[in-house]
Structure 1
C-alpha cells in the first residue's frame, strides 16, 4: 500500500501502531518548511471561486514560470493535469524505466513501432531526482514532433532551481507540454493546485474538460499570494540545498549512498530496502519503498535538526 505514493500515514498506523503525532513522515518529497501567508487568507467559502481571481492566479503563475499568460492553465493538482492530458491526447505513452506511477497510468498503452506517442519525462525525475539536460529535451522534442507525438515534461520538483525548467520553450508551434506543481516546493500539497503549460489549442480542450471552476477558492488565494512572495521563494531556494546536504551526510554515515539533484528527497539503494522500510516504520518513521524495485528506498527532507537526529538514531539501531 505504501509502494504507489508517499503519505498514507493512516495505513501505516494501522499496520505499525502509534498516534499521528508519534510519526515522522519522510515518505513524500514535499518541502517540510511550508510557505505561510503573512496574514490569514481571505476566502469566501459561501461563494463560487471568482473568475477574476482565477485570471489573477494564472497571471501570477505564468510570470513566475516565465511563459506567456495564454499558455498557462490552472488545474486541481499536477497529477490531475497529467491524467486529463491522457484523456485529451489519447495516445500511447513512453516513460523512463524508473518514474512516477501516474506517468504510466495516464498514458498506459504501448506505442506501435514508428507510431505517434506521448513521451513523459520527469525533470527532476521522481523518484531518483535525475536531471535531463535542455539539449536532451530538445532532441527528444524533435523526435516526438517528427512522429506526430508529444513531449510532456513533468516539472513538479523543478521550483528548487528554475534553471532546470524548459517552460520557456512552450509555444503554440511546438508539441511540448509542461506540468507544474504548487504543493511540492511551497509545501502545501493539500491545496491541490497545479498548472499545465501548453499550446492554446490544447489548453482550450483542457479548460472545457475542467469546467468553469477548476480550482477552489483557497487555492486561488494561496496561489496568488505565494507566487508573488519573491523573498520567501529566494530564501527557500537557498535553504533547501543545505538541508539536503545534511541528509546526505547522515545517510552516508550509515552506509547509504544518496542520489538525486532535487533537494526535496534522496533515493538510496540497499540490499534489503523493504526490510529497512519495515524497521524504520516500526520506529514510526515512514519512508517510500517501491514495489517493482525492492532495493530502492526514498527519504524526504526531515523538517528540523531534531527529526534528522531521530532518523540517525533509528538507522544506527539497524
Structure 2
C-alpha cells in the first residue's frame, strides 16, 4: 500500500516528442513513437462539410453520438452516457461526485487517476490488492490495466460496486482499452445499478487521440450531474461526426481487432528473438519486464525508437505497435544492435 503524496503534481506520459528530443538529442529522426497505446492505424479520415467548423455543434448531433455509443458499448440507454472532449477532462469531475474521503487506486496503473482524485480533495492511496478496495470511499480500477494488461472479472467488480453503493461510495472503472479487451468483463451495461462510473476512450482504439472524445457511463441522475458541468457544445463538431461514423462501423472495428491481434503477436515474436520477455499487455501495447529495461530503453531511444518507461519501476517497459513496415524494420534493427552490445558485454564479463 502506497500513500501518494503530492499526487496533484503533473505526471509525465508517453507521446511527447519534445521530451524525446531533449532526452535523445542525437537520435535518428523521425522518431518511431511506441511510447503510447494509441492504434497506429487510425479510422479512415473523411472530408467534413465546412459548416461543421463554421457553426456551433447541434444538440441533436450530440444525442446522435450518445445513441450510437450506447449501442456500440452496450450501455442500457443513451441516458446513461455523457460525451466529453476526452476522458482526461472527466477524471476530476467524476472523482468529485462524492465528498472527499479515502480514494484507493488499484495499481500500479495510469497515474492521472490518483492525481485527479487528489485534486478533488481525496486522500489517495495506491494498493496492489483488489480486496483492499472495499475499504475505499472512491475505488478506482483500470480494466484492462495500463500498463500490464491485468483484467478484473466482471462479477468481482459488480460485488465491489454493490458494497460501494450501499455505503454511498463510488467505483470508477476506466475501460480505455476494453475495445481490445475481454468485453464480457465490461461494466458498461451494469451502470444502472448505481455506484458505478465507467470511462471509455474513443481515441486509443480508433487511432484519433487528437480528436479528444471520450465517454462516462453511469446511472441517469449521475450522468445529468456530469452533463450539467459541461454545458452546451462540450464536444466539437468534427469529434461528433467522427464519433458517430466510427462507432457505427462495426465491420471496421471487427477487422481492426483481428489486425491488432496479429500485430501484437508479431511484436511478441520480435521481442522473443532478442531475449526480451513479454509479461502482459493488450493488443494495443505490450508490457515487458527485464533487468536491463533501462538499457533497452536508452539503446532504442538513441536509435529513434521510443518506448514508455516508468520512474520508480526501472525493470519494466511498455511498447506500442509499429505502424508501417519501415517502422518494424527500424525496431528490429535497433533490437539487434542492443542485443549485440548486451552479448558483447556478457562475454567480456565471462
TM-score (norm 1): 0.92
1:42 counterpart residue number:
49
1:76 counterpart residue number:
85
1:64 counterpart residue number:
72
1:277 counterpart residue number:
297
20 and 275 in structure 1: CA distance in 2 versus 1, 3 angstrom threshold: closer
1:312 positional shift: 1.8
1:117 positional shift: 1.2
1:316 positional shift: 1.5
Q: Secondary structure at the match of 1:89?
A: coil
Per-residue Cα deviation, 1:98-128 (whole angstroms, up to 9, x for no partner): 1101111111333799875111111110111
Pick the aligned partner of 2:260 from 224, 240, 243.
Answer: 240
1:169 is the counterpart of 2:179: no
Q: In the aligned structure 2, how far is the partner of 1:314 from the partner of 1:111? A: 40
1:17 counterpart residue number:
25
1:150 counterpart residue number:
170
The RMSD of aligned alpha carbons is: 2.2
18 and 219 in structure 1: CA distance in 2 versus 1, 3 angstrom threshold: farther
Q: Secondary structure at the match of 1:317?
A: helix
Q: In the aligned structure 2, how far is the partner of 1:3 from the partner of 1:258? A: 25
Q: Secondary structure at the match of 1:137?
A: helix
Maintained 8 Å contact 2:104/2:136: no
1:6 is the counterpart of 2:6: no
1:170 positional shift: 1.1
1:205 counterpart residue number:
225
Maintained 8 Å contact 2:11/2:111: no
Q: In the aligned structure 2, how far is the partner of 1:115 from the partner of 1:252? A: 41
Q: In the aligned structure 1, how far is the partner of 2:99 from the partner of 2:53? A: 36
1:298 positional shift: 0.5
4 and 140 in structure 1: CA distance in 2 versus 1, 3 angstrom threshold: farther
Q: In the aligned structure 1, how far is the partner of 2:90 from the partner of 2:313? A: 26
1:306 positional shift: 3.0
Unaligned runs of 5+ in 1: none
Maintained 8 Å contact 1:66/1:167: yes
Unaligned runs of 5+ in 2: 1-9, 126-131, 339-350
1:295 positional shift: 1.2
Maintained 8 Å contact 2:28/2:302: no
1:137 positional shift: 1.1
Maintained 8 Å contact 2:27/2:304: no
The range that moved more, 94-103 or 43-52, is 43-52
1:93 counterpart residue number:
103
Q: In the aligned structure 2, how far is the partner of 1:139 from the partner of 1:275? A: 43
Q: In the aligned structure 1, how far is the partner of 2:124 from the partner of 2:30? A: 46
1:71 positional shift: 0.2
Maintained 8 Å contact 2:191/2:218: yes
The range that moved more, 78-87 or 112-121, is 112-121
141 and 276 in structure 1: CA distance in 2 versus 1, 3 angstrom threshold: same
Which structure has the larger Rg over C-alpha atoms?
Answer: 2
1:294 positional shift: 1.3
Q: Secondary structure at the match of 1:73?
A: strand
1:243 positional shift: 0.7
